[in-house]
Structure formats: C-alpha cells, structure tokens
C-alpha cells in the first residue's frame, strides 16, 4: 500500500472523528512493510545528504567568503536557495519525492542565512526581527506545501527566535508560553503532519515557559515583564485559540489551552509582583504549584487524547521542574556533599515515580 495514500486516508478518518490519533498511529504502524522501511532509508539518506551539502556550502563560504567579489557573493546567496528549491521540484517531477522534499527543506533553511548575509553584504541595516520574519514566510509555507514535520519544526524554531528578538531586552517567557497556546490551537484546524508539529510544539513552548519560570527563585527582582505589544499580541492569539477550540466542540483541547493561559498569567503575575508586593516565598511556591498543575493537566490531556507525545513532554517537564525545586531548596539548605547526595536521591525517586506513572498511562491507552 502506498504510504502517502494511506497517510491521507488516515488523516481524513481522524478529521471525521472515525478514529483518534493513537488509532491512526497504530494503523500506520500496522501497514509498515518492507517498502515503508526502504522509504525511511531513502528519507534518512536524503536528509543526511542535504545536511552534508549544507555543511559543505557553509564551510566553503566561511573559508573563501572574503576572497569572493561582491557580485559573486550576491550570486551565491541567490543561487543557493533557488537551486535547492528547483532541484527539489525536479525530483518531485521525476517520482523521487523523498529526495525532492529534502532538497526543498534545504532551500527553505538556506533562505535564512542568505537574508542575514545579504543584509551584511549590502549594509542595509535591516532589523533582525524583519529578517527572521522573512525566513518564517519562506519556511512555514514550504512546510505546509510538503507536509514536512522537519520543515515545520525548523519553522517553529524560527518563530521562537522572532519572538525572543521582539521581546528583547525584556523577559520573553510570557510571550513564548502564550505563543505555544496559540500554536496548539492552530494545530487543531485540521489533521496532518504539520498540524501535529504545531500541537506538540505549542505544548512544548507552554510547558517550557512554566518550567523556566520556576528558576526565578531568589531573582524575582531581576524579572522584567516583556513588551506589552508582544505579550498582548500573543495573548490575543491564545485567547482566540481557546475560544475557537470550545466553539468547535473540542473540550479536552480547549480545557488544556484555557488552563495553560491561566497558569501562564499566574506565574507572570507572581514574578512581576515579587518580592515587593508578594513575598518571595509565596511567589516561589505559587510558581511551582502553577507549573505542576500545568504539567499534570498535560499528562491528563495525553491520556484523554491517547497521545504519547503529550505524556512524554509532561514527564520531561516534571523532571526539570523537580530539578529546579530541589536545587532551590535542598541544595541551598545543605552543605556541598550532603546536598548532592540528598538531591540525587530525591531526583532518582522522582524519576522512578514519573516513569512508573508514564508506563501506567501508556498501558491504559
């Protein structure tokens, strides 16, 4: 059976509510035969080949860039992405779609460095945020056109860099977390590889923000609330996403998104108010409580949606949150060697408990 045709059918079944995501994964795994194995080998070799081409081009340019005339440098910056895209399209036309996909992804990746080098070469003085925006405009449409999780993941990384740049020099955490909620909602507009990346990436952004905020213990006075325009824009996107999820009848996803917005608002308010308005200890405990609640909600969502990815993200986040809590309490309170032993034992116990909980959830789904 053609894997691409099967993927399209399974996506349609999920979209119509005939099966859920875990059943879709099981069906795809059931029909993985030798041809699918060969396809994965082709994909792996194509990606490795594209990465080697990219590394070779970068190494050549880094070694000889200053020796090239300006016209030659401009030609290289234009030809690199263009040739990769054209080669990918030709590969698609000649019935080697995996290689074509890898080359098109390479072209989208090359757009970013080309934009930055163009700005440096011509001394245009364009802000980094505009260059990152241009890169986003190139790579995300490519990801959607190809249905590529790799391209979508790189695109989300570029969007993250854009939000970090726009938030500088203030703290970008609230904007990143709210962006994650908006991406999570956007990933539910339809089924597909790219939308799956949006959902998982959005959850990772939101949980990452909650965990990062737990590291502020004793440093709340250094926290600087992000630019109102950036935080406000991401907040509007997150709230619209929550509303749309509930309007679409997706109560599980809408509930998680709404709770994530509340948790992000709580940790941001506590970090902003401490230590002047809110005592540092209260803020510390409140931030950790909100993070734990967010992680638990994500694990529950993974159970309800039968999603291994959500459960794994919740477990990883819980381990990092436990490490942050132990470092801020046990390590600070005890002497060096004793602190290391106690902290290690606590983390081992937490790791065992989390892994047992993870296995229990996975066995139920």
pLDDT tens-digit readout, 171-226: 888 999 999 999 999 998 887 888 999 999 999 999 999 999 988 877 777 777 77
Tokens 């041809």, located at residue:
35
Task: Tell me how far apart the alpha carbons of residues 309 and 299 are, in angstroms, rounded to a whole number.
Answer: 10
Q: What's the rounded Cα separation, in Å, for the pair 283 and 221?
A: 12
Burial label for 168, CB within 10 Å (0-12, 13-18, 19+), is middle
pLDDT beyond 50 at 112? yes
The domain spans of the chain are 33-168, 169-365
- pLDDT-derived band at 15 (thresholds 50, 70, 90) equals low
Q: What integer pLDDT is reported at residue 233 of this predicted model? A: 93
Q: Rank 103-107, 254-258, 330-334 by mean pLDDT and report only the highest.
A: 254-258
User: 84 phi and psi, to 5 degrees?
Assistant: -65, -45
* pLDDT tens-place string over residues 251-297: 999 999 999 999 999 999 998 888 888 888 888 899 999 999 999 99
- H or E element at residue 362: helix 336-364
pLDDT tens-place string over residues 46-75: 667 767 777 777 777 777 777 778 888 888
> Model confidence over 77-100: pLDDT tens digits?
888 889 888 988 888 777 777 778
For tokens 């790219």, name the residue. Answer: 194
- Please spell the DSSP secondary structure of 288-318, one letter per residue: HHHHHHHHHHHHHHHHHHT-HHHHHHHHHHH
185 contacts: CB under 8 Å, gap ≥ 6? 202, 238, 240, 241, 242, 244, 245, 253, 257
Which DSSP string corresponds to 261-288?
HHHHHHHHHHHHHTTTTS-HHHHHHHHH
* 141-156 mean pLDDT: 90
Q: Which two tokens mark 40?
A: 């994965």
- Greater confidence, 300 or 4? 300
DSSP H or E segment with residue 232: helix 228-247
What pLDDT does 34 receive? 44
Measured at the CA of 81, the angle between CA 78 and CA 82, to 5 degrees, comes to 70
Residues 163 and 230 sit within 8 Å (Cβ to Cβ): yes
Residue 299: phi and psi, rounded to 5, are -60, -40
Q: What is the pLDDT of residue 139?
A: 93
Distances from the Cα of 350 to the Cα of 315, 316, 342, 344, 354, angstroms = 10, 11, 12, 10, 6
**What is this structure's pTM?**
0.79
Compute the distance between CA of residue 324 and CA of residue 343 in angstroms, rounded to an integer.
11
d(CA 104, CA 243): 35
In degrees to the nearest 10, what's the CA dihedral of 96, 98, 99, 100?
80
């Amino acid at each position: 059976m053609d894997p691409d045709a099967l993927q399209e059918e399974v996506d349609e079944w999920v979209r119509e509510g005939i099966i859920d995501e875990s059943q879709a994964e099981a069906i795809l795994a059931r029909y993985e035969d030798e041809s699918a194995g060969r396809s994965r080998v082709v994909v792996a070799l194509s990606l490795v080949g594209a990465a080697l081409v990219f590394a070779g081009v970068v190494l050549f340019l880094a070694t000889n860039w200053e020796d090239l005339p300006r016209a030659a440098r401009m030609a290289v910056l234009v030809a690199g992405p263009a040739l990769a895209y054209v080669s990918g399209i030709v590969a698609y036309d000649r019935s080697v779609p995996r290689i074509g996909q890898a080359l098109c992804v390479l072209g989208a990746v090359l757009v970013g460095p080309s934009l930055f080098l163009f700005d440096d070469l011509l001394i245009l003085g364009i802000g980094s945020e505009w260059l990152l925006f241009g890169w986003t405009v190139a790579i995300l449409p490519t990801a959607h056109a190809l249905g590529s999780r790799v391209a979508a993941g790189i695109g989300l990384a570029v969007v993250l860099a854009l939000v970090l740049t726009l938030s500088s020099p203030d703290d970008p955490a609230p904007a990143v977390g709210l962006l994650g909620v908006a991406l999570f909602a956007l990933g539910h507009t339809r089924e597909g590889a790219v939308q799956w990346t949006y959902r998982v990436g959005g959850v990772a952004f939101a949980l990452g923000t909650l965990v990062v905020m737990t590291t502020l213990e004793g440093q709340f006075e250094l926290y600087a609330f992000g630019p109102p325009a950036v935080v406000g824009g991401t907040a509007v996107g997150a709230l619209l996403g929550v509303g749309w999820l509930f309007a679409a009848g997706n109560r599980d996803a809408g509930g998680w998104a709404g709770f994530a917005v509340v948790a992000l608002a709580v940790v941001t308010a506590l970090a902003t108010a401490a230590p002047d308005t809110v005592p540092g200890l209260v803020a510390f405990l409140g931030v950790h409580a909100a993070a734990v609640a967010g992680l638990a909600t994500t694990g529950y969502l993974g159970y309800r949606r039968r999603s291994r990815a959500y459960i794994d993200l919740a477990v990883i986040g819980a381990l990092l949150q436990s490490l942050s809590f132990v470092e801020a309490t046990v390590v600070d309170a005890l002497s060096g060697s004793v602190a290391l032993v106690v902290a290690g034992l606590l983390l081992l116990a937490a790791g065992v408990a989390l892994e047992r909980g993870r296995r229990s959830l996975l066995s139920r789904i």
